[in-house]
């Protein structure tokens, strides 16, 4: 965008936002060229958290890949579990029992709430409203308590297995869940008054970081980023998996494409998730939670592709089997990776404070970007 | 969009086409890839306007690229397989059509050493590297890649003593 | 929480709220007791000191400095406790009784910390900056009337003095930003200059409107003139907007949220004091809290009748009112998000300056009609 | 006029927000003063491992079948077998918790319920060597249990070997065919 002649005239300053910076939410480095407070160009540098997960998958059996997906998107690790398990199920022709599918959906939505609450917390802090951070985490804490009761872990759940789920709902879970959902809806309403309606907050977000629907599509944006730009694209609706086609929920779509739209999509999604969870609790049938699995799982030669709607967007796995107990190739298409790629196009012309607002509104998780 | 429409549109540029449960799958050659993509992006019957995914794998004999593209307007998924030889892995870059695929192409270079002709950073391997450090040698997902083992940082007590 | 599966939460005990209030009251009591201490016992000493003007000045300065440092300790604790309670936390709990000595511990820690000077820093500027920031905020206390008797120096042009002195702290902030040789610091310094200079304009205008109504620039004079009715009650239509503008401007002057742009930690890491550590950092911190207390005290002086009030000793009234204003500032700080630089500037020049101009006109009319 | 309206609505939005933060002053606090008070974790919580001691049999459940080793994605477990067959067990069992990601796969893989996860979560240490847990600290009941396990198994194995030897002797008397294999199996 910028040629050397103008940079020399303008005496721009190059600033490294990150890798250690309070607002990059991980180890992301943004090489930003500044003209005063205004961004001239930006180059994201990633890979600081690269652990070679895809390479590690090749050396491990199918079941052993699951705990590693926890480490990708650590805010919503259940979606990673689900995505890779779906790919494995499709490779091996397995089908999870209906009850397991309901529980998977229930937990994924609970996890979506937890993830969006982290977004709300960190985003408010990025904008400067530190108090919302703790209010959101207060609710998330209850959410994590429930997840802990269910899965045994607070962050890295490793709960979905190819062909079902390992454990059924614990006693008292429904009651606790209902309590939490009531609290959550109250807290969201409170948050609307505290943060969403705040004049400064709106002023900081409205009209900032606008992404047009065409740009969103061309850059492969998904999830709240796409839906904030007016793309009605939700994998849960366009390519329903598990039992999403039986559940009733709305996909919030906002057309302004700015940070506020992305924020509002996420807030509304939490309400919809609560709705889905209530339906799941109501509709869940009794029965098996795990289908029959061979002792050593060797799927036939072939390739499988699964996609799920993670809180950040479309999380898909492409998995190739060569008939051995280990996958020949696993590739994860992670939404944060795609969204970070949009930054060089979004940032030029905005102010430093907006960089933080835009980066926060993409809600990237660096564990997922670098894999 | 299904295999028949694609055969009709692409004609002899297509090696094979079949309908799969979650997508339509076609196979093209590397030479035809750019023209096929341009066509599918602009053709009103396909309208593949959404940048999906690029990945590749090394089978030991050749490298197979896998493209996934979607249409937001029609709501269909298309996957493309392109096979290139291992020692001369060159494909045209499609990041001009879908800028979102820029980073996926960089990742493919990073992991498998595929050269994307027409990519803005193609001649600068340092910029082309994305996840690995700029001075990394070799391409880890190639079957002949030998990892340089620099010691396990989490070794047990047996190794320390 | 009725469900057994969710953990029970820590209920805030009435005792804790009571504790917060009682400690606050204790601070007030100590502050108010100071003028009533048996100072006459020290009369030989004070009369000796009074004979030598330089010694006298030094003694006064030492008292003010100690007072500022001590009240900072108290208010930092208060702020952390209030912030904690507002944020569903409990605040400092471990050092001392209910965390009362936390700030002391932090101060000791800061004193013991390594004093880091970046290699390429402009060393004299870097070293000087904290004092350039701290000294003006200390100086302003000289004219702040705690009671009619307890005022460092009752300057006839007190209001003018306050304005001109507090503005000089910009110099220190920019010296810090420039001297650190850090891009974040520089940006923070630049932001600080833009912000402090802009917000000085409406601040001066608002203070002028009060001065015009009072007919004096002496701060004690402004207070004594409110003997019948506090300013805010005497001219509510005029003074409530004036107080709001004054509050906004002081928030900007002391770099507190929503105007903490010079040190916006989510954007500029820590702004102009990114590179500072140890005691130099403590001086910035001290200056911020001293400024905060002073601004609240000034607001009380201008709008709420200073030490005036029935029943309690004058200094208690003053401290109590100041505490209320400080609490208001804390409350605002922990509620509002941060403004963006252009919004902040346009808010100042497009809203605050015209509004304060209008206030001046209204004050002039009101003054004439008196 | 618009500006004034905007200002007013903005001011009111601040007041609404301040009402909420103010109300939170007196609400329940979420803080758990960690080292002084500990939150109780869920029964399913995946913490430190334990090898349950089977009082009825006087030994640990583990038979040394290595299924957990095969299930583990990060090579946490190393074990030394003690004998084989019906009475087979373990002599030593090490878990390198520095590598463990508490994924529960080993527990699920175990057909004998020989590994369990406890709710103990305070596993941090400043020394990597402390992360390797030997059998004596993993076994439920500590070193005594490990000792008991060893004794029970070795007694059982000895008894088995003796029985086999007796059988072999008997077989040797009758036919002599099984005698060639007997020492091998016993060893």
Find the mean pLDDT for residues D14-43. Answer: 80
Closest CA in chain A for residue B74:
A238
Q: Provide the pLDDT for residue A1.
A: 40
Question: So what's the ipTM on this one?
Answer: 0.82
Question: Looking at residues C178-206, what average pLDDT do you find?
Answer: 86
Please identify which residue in the block is written with the tokens 């403004």.
C339
pLDDT in tens, A74-121: 888 888 899 999 888 888 888 888 888 899 999 899 999 999 999 999
Residue indicated by tokens 């700015």: A258
In-domain check, residue C89: no
Q: Among all residues of chain A, which has the CA nearest to that of D14?
A: A198
Return mean pLDDT, chain D.
79
Residue C343 has pLDDT above 60, yes or no: yes
Residue C322 lies in a domain: yes
Sorted by where each starts, the structural domains of chain A and their CATH numbers stand as 53-339+349-370 (1.10.645.10)
Token reading at C179? 């001297």
Query: D53 CA to chain C: closest CA distance, Å?
Result: 29
What is A20-67 written as a DSSP string? S-TTSSSS-EEEEEEETTEEEEEEEE--TT---HHHHHHTS-TGGGHH
* Phi, then psi, of C83 in degrees rounded to 5: -60, -45
CB C202 within 8 A of CB C348: yes
Dihedral, CA of residue C64, residue C67, residue C72 and residue C74, to nearest 10? -170
Taking an 8 Å cut-off on Cβ atoms, the answer to whether A158 and D16 are in contact is no
Chains C and B touch (3+ CB pairs under 8 A): no
The verdict on residue C49 lying in a domain is no
In the block, tokens 């500022």 appear at C68
pLDDT of residue C4: 54
For B86, B158, C255, D99, the CA distances from D128, given in Å and listed in that order, are 43, 11, 45, 10
Residue A167 CB burial class (10 angstroms; 0-12, 13-18, ≥19): middle
Find the mean pLDDT for residues D8-25: 83
Measured between alpha carbons, how far is B71 from B104 in angstroms, rounded to an integer?
A: 18
C222: in domain: yes
Confirm or reject contact between D132 and chain B (CB < 8 A).
yes
Residue D55: the pLDDT is 78
Confidence of residue C103 (pLDDT cuts 50, 70, 90): confident
Q: Which of A152-161, C273-282, C323-332, C347-356 has the lowest mean pLDDT?
A: C273-282
Residues A105, A98 contacting (CB under 8 angstroms): no
Q: Each residue of A12-23: pLDDT tens digit?
A: 888 888 787 877
Contacts of D31 in chain C (CB under 8 A): 10, 88-90
CB A169 within 8 A of CB A224: no
Average pLDDT over residues D59-83: 83
Q: Which residues, 6+ apart, have CB-to-CB distance to A126 below 8 Å? A: A23, A356, A357, A359, A360, C266
Q: Does A152 touch chain B (CB under 8 A)?
A: no
In angstroms, the separation between the Cα of residue A92 and the nearest Cα of chain B is 15
pLDDT at A113: 92
Contact at 8 Å (CB) between C257 and A128? yes
For range A181-189, the mean pLDDT: 89
Whether residue D4 is predicted with pLDDT greater than 50 in this model: the reply is yes
Most confident of A166-180, D18-32, D171-185: A166-180
pLDDT in tens, C165-188: 888 888 888 888 888 888 888 888
Flag whether pLDDT at C88 surpasses 50.
Answer: yes
What is the Cβ-side half-sphere exposure of residue C284, based on CA atoms within 13 angstroms?
28
pLDDT, tens digit, 9 for 90 and up, residues B116-127: 888 888 777 777
Print the domain residue range for C148: 114-369
- Are A230 and A213 contacting, i.e. CB atoms less than 8 angstroms apart? yes
pLDDT at D183: 45
SS3 per-residue string spanning D27-65: CCECCCCCCCCCCCCCCCCCCCEEECEECCCCEECCCCC
| For residue D187, pLDDT beyond 60 | no
Please give the Cα distance from D187 to D160 (Å, whole number): 11
Question: Sheet harboring A38-45: ordered strands across?
Answer: A13-17, A29-35, A38-45
**CA C69 to mean position of chain CA atoms:** 12
D25 in contact with A, Cβ within 8 Å: no
Residues of C in contact with D21 (CB under 8 A): 86, 331, 334-335
- Given a contact cutoff of 8 angstroms between Cβ atoms, the answer to whether D119 and D45 are in contact is yes
- Write out chain A residues lying below 8 Å of D104, CB-based: 152, 158, 166
CA distance, residue C93 to nearest chain D CA (Å): 9
Distance CA A23, CA A45 (A): 15
* pLDDT score for A116: 92
With a cut of 70, say whether residue A9 has pLDDT above it.
Answer: no
Residue D148 and residue D97: Cα distance in Å, rounded?
25
Rounded Cα–Cα distance for residues A289 and A98 (Å): 8
Residue D107 to residues C93, C148, D46, Cα–Cα distance (Å)? 40, 77, 10
For chain C, what is the mean pLDDT? Answer: 79
Percentage of chain C surpassing pLDDT 90? 1
Rg from Cα positions in chain A: 21
Instruction: Nearest by CB to D7, from C86, C88, C351: name it.
Output: C351
State whether residue D18 sits within 8 Å of chain C by CB.
yes
How many domains is chain C built from?
Answer: 1
Q: What is the CATH number of domain B3-138?
A: 3.30.460.80
Chains that touch D (3 or more CB pairs under 8 A): A, B, C
Query: How many Cα atoms within 13 Å fall on the side-chain side of residue D32?
Result: 12
pLDDT tier for residue C28 given thresholds of 50, 70 and 90: low
The one-character DSSP state at B1 is -
Task: Please indicate, yes or no, if residue C261 is contained in any of the structural domains.
Answer: yes
Burial of B117 (0-12, 13-18, 19+ CB in 10 A): exposed
C4 in a structural domain: no
Read off the pLDDT of each residue in C23-48 and give the average, rounded to a whole number: 66
Nearest one of A83, A86, A59, A58 to A72, comparing CA atoms: A83
Alpha carbon of C157: minimum distance to chain A alpha carbons (Å): 37
Q: Where are the domains of chain B?
A: 3-138
- Search chain B and give the residue with CA nearest D132: B156
Bridge partner residues of B26 (DSSP):
B17, B80
In this complex, the residue of D21, D26, D40 whose CB is nearest that of residue C17 is: D26
* A226-230, A314-318, C255-259, C264-268: range with lowest mean pLDDT: C264-268
Mean of per-residue pLDDT scores for chain A: 86
Handedness of CA A87, A92, A97, A100 (dihedral sign): negative
Q: Lowest mean pLDDT of A35-44, A307-316, C2-11, name the range.
A: C2-11
For residue B119, give every residue at least 6 positions away whose Cβ sits within 8 Å of its Cβ, in sequence order, or none. B93, B95, B102, B105, B106, B128
Among the four given CATH numbers 3.40.1410.10, 3.40.50.920, 3.40.50.300, 3.30.70.3270, the one describing domain D49-177:
3.30.70.3270
């Amino acid at each position: 965008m910028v040629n050397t002649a103008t940079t020399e005239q303008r005496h721009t300053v190059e600033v490294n936002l990150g890798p250690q910076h309070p607002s990059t939410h991980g180890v992301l480095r943004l090489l930003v060229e500044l003209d005063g407070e205004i961004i001239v160009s930006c180059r994201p540098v990633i890979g600081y958290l690269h652990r070679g997960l895809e390479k590690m998958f090749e050396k491990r059996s199918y079941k052993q890949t699951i705990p590693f997906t926890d480490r990708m998107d650590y805010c919503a690790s259940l979606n990673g579990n689900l995505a890779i398990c779906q790919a494995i199920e499709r490779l091996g022709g397995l089908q999870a029992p209906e009850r397991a599918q309901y529980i998977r959906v229930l937990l994924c939505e609970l996890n979506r709430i937890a993830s969006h609450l982290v977004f709300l917390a960190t985003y408010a802090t990025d904008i400067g409203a530190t108090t919302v951070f703790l209010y959101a985490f207060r609710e998330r804490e209850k959410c994590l308590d429930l997840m802990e009761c269910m899965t045994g872990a607070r962050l890295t759940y490793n709960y979905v297995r190819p062909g079902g789920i390992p454990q059924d709902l614990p006693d008292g879970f429904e009651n606790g869940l209902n309590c939490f959902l009531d609290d959550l809806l109250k807290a969201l309403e409170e948050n609307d008054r505290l943060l969403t309606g705040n004049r400064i907050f709106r002023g900081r977000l409205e009209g900032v970081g606008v992404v047009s629907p065409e740009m969103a599509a061309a850059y492969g944006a998904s999830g709240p980023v796409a839906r904030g730009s007016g793309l009605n694209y939700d994998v849960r609706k366009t390519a329903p998996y598990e039992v999403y086609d039986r559940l009733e929920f709305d996909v919030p779509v906002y057309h302004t494409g700015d940070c506020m739209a992305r924020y509002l999509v996420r807030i509304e999604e939490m309400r919809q998730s609560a709705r889905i969870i209530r339906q799941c609790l109501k509709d869940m049938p009794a029965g098996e939670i795990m289908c029959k699995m061979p002792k050593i799982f060797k799927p036939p030669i072939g390739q499988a592709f699964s996609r799920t709607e993670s809180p950040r967007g479309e999380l898909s796995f492409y998995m190739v089997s060569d008939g051995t107990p280990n996958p020949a190739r696993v590739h994860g298409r992670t939404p944060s990776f795609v969204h970070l790629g949009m930054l060089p196009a979004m940032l030029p012309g905005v102010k430093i404070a907006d960089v933080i607002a835009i980066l926060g509104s993409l809600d990237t998780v660096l564990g997922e970007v670098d894999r | 969009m299904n295999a028949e429409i694609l055969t009709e549109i692409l004609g002899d540029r297509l090696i094979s086409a079949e309908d799969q449960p979650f997508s339509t799958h076609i196979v093209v050659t590397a030479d035809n890839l750019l023209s096929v993509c341009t066509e599918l992006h602009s053709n009103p019957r396909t309208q593949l306007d959404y940048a999906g995914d690029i990945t590749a794998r090394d089978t030991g004999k050749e490298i197979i690229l896998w493209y996934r593209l979607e249409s937001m307007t029609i709501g269909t998924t298309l996957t493309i397989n392109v096979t290139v030889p291992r020692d001369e892995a060159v494909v045209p870059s499609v990041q001009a059509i879908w800028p979102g695929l820029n980073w996926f192409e960089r990742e493919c270079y990073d992991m498998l050493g595929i050269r994307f002709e027409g990519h803005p950073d193609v001649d600068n391997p340092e910029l082309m590297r994305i996840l690995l450090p700029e001075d990394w040698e070799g391409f880890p997902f190639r079957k002949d890649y030998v990892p340089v083992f620099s010691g396990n940082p989490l070794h047990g007590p047996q190794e320390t003593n | 929480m009725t469900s057994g599966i969710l953990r029970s939460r820590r209920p805030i005990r009435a005792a804790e709220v009571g504790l917060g209030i009682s400690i606050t009251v204790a601070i007030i009591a100590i502050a108010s007791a100071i003028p009533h201490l048996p100072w006459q016992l020290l009369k030989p000493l004070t009369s000796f000191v009074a004979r030598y003007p330089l010694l006298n000045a030094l003694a006064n300065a030492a008292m003010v400095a100690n007072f500022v440092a001590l009240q900072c300790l108290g208010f930092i604790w208060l702020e952390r406790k209030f912030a904690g309670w507002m944020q569903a936390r409990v605040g400092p709990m471990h050092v001392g009784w209910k965390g009362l000595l936390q700030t002391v511990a932090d101060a000791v820690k800061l004193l013991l910390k390594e004093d880091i000077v970046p290699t390429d820093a402009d060393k004299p500027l870097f070293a000087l900056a904290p004092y350039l920031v701290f000294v003006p905020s200390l100086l302003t206390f000289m004219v702040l009337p705690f009671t009619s008797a307890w005022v460092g120096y009752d300057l006839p042009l007190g209001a003018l003095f306050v304005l001109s002195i507090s503005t000089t702290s910009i110099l220190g902030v920019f010296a810090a930003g420039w001297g650190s040789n850090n891009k974040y610091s520089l940006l923070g310094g630049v932001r600080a200059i833009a912000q402090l200079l802009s917000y000085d304009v409406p601040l001066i205008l608002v203070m002028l409107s009060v001065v015009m109504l009072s007919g004096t620039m002496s701060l004690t004079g402004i207070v004594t003139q409110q003997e019948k009715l506090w300013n805010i009650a005497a001219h509510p239509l005029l003074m409530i907007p004036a107080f709001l503008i004054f509050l906004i401007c002081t928030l900007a002057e002391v770099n507190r949220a929503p105007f903490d742009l010079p040190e916006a930690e989510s954007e500029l890491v820590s702004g102009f004091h990114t590179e500072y550590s140890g005691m130099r950092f403590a001086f910035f911190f001290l200056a911020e809290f001293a400024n905060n207390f002073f601004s609240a005290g000034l607001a009380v002086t201008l709008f709420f009748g200073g030490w005036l009030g029935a029943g309690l000793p004058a200094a208690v009234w003053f401290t109590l009112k100041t505490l209320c204003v400080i609490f208001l500032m804390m409350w605002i700080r922990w509620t509002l998000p941060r403004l963006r630089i252009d919004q902040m500037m346009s808010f100042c020049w497009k809203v605050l300056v015209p509004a304060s101009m209008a206030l001046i006109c209204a004050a002039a009319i009101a003054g004439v009609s008196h | 006029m618009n500006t004034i309206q905007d200002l007013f609505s903005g001011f009111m939005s601040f007041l609404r927000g301040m009402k909420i933060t103010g109300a939170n002053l007196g609400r329940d606090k979420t803080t758990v003063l960690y080292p002084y008070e500990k939150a109780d974790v869920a029964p399913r919580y995946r913490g430190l491992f334990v090898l349950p001691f089977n009082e009825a049999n006087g030994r640990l459940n583990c038979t040394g079948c290595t299924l957990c080793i095969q299930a583990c994605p990060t090579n946490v477990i190393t074990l030394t077998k003690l004998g084989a067959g019906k009475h087979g067990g373990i002599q030593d069992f090490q878990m390198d918790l520095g590598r463990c990601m508490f994924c529960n796969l080993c527990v699920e893989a175990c057909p004998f319920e020989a590994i369990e996860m406890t709710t103990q979560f305070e596993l941090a240490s400043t020394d990597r060597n402390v992360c390797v847990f030997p059998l004596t600290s993993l076994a439920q009941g500590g070193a005594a249990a490990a000792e008991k396990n060893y004794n029970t198994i070795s007694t059982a194995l000895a008894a088995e070997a003796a029985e086999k030897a007796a059988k072999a002797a008997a077989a040797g008397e009758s036919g002599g065919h099984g005698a060639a294999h007997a020492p091998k199996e016993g060893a």
